[in-house]
Amino acid sequence: MFSKIFIGALLLFSSDVFAASFDCKKAQSPVEKLICSDPKISSLDEKLARDYKSAIQSTGGNELIAGQRKWIIEVRNKCLNSDCLINAYDIRDKWFLAHALHDESCHFSESDLLKHWKREKEGDFEEFLLSTDGHTKYFSSWLHHQPEMMGNWTFEQCDLHIYQNGNEKISFDYKVLGLSKGVLTIQDVDSDSKHTYKIIP
């Protein structure tokens, strides 16, 4: 059974003590106290949490969540000293970098994007619609409820390419990172900035 601190270790970030990925003020088990007392291990814990979160955003997640919980119980929590923890974190983080963060598979389809979207946080468009007639994919955007840009779009391996009709020099390229609870998260390929949009019912 997982305590709240275990779940927090998976997903949350904190500035307490040595900036471990969980609130060190709530540390209870010997391994949690060891993480919080050692700045090197705390730093490794925080880095793993960042890479874990990025992996979840990139790949969608259920298998990663289950795998990380299993790793915490069966590997991390069985360590009795600093050397064991450092080795465990190093191996786990290398696994994320080699597998999860560079997983080229895409867990989203074109049909997932066929919606009317409104900017929630940052983004190049205030509102946009992705549609298709079966042969051609159409892009439309609005600024202050007025037509802004008409164009087309393609989607392959989570790469969303938007371009203006008759002028492909005016184009936008994004990587689709996530789609959950009606919120679309995309990353600008050129600037690496992340944008979020919410479905307009």
The tens digit of pLDDT for each residue in 15-29 reads: 333 446 788 888 888
Domain around 191: 110-199
Judge if 9 and 96 occupy the same domain.
yes
Determine, yes or no, domain membership for 123: yes
Question: How does DSSP assign 19-63, residue by residue?
Answer: T-SS-GGG--SHHHHHHHH-HHHHHHHHHHHHHHHHHHHHH--HH
Domain co-membership, 122 together with 95: no
pTM exceeding 0.75: no
Are 136 and 94 in a shared domain?
A: no
Distance CA 5, CA 21 (A): 10
The verdict on residue 121 lying in a domain is yes
Torsion of CA 70, 51, 41, 69, to 10 degrees: -10
- Provide the CA 23 distance to its chain's centre, in angstroms: 22
Residues 173 and 87 in one domain: no
Note whether 96 and 114 are same-domain residues. no
Q: Do 93 and 159 share a structural domain?
A: no
Asked if residue 105 belongs to a domain, the reply is no
Number of structural domains found in the chain:
2
**Per-residue pLDDT tens for 181-195?**
899 999 998 888 999
What is the DSSP code (8-state) at residue 98?
I
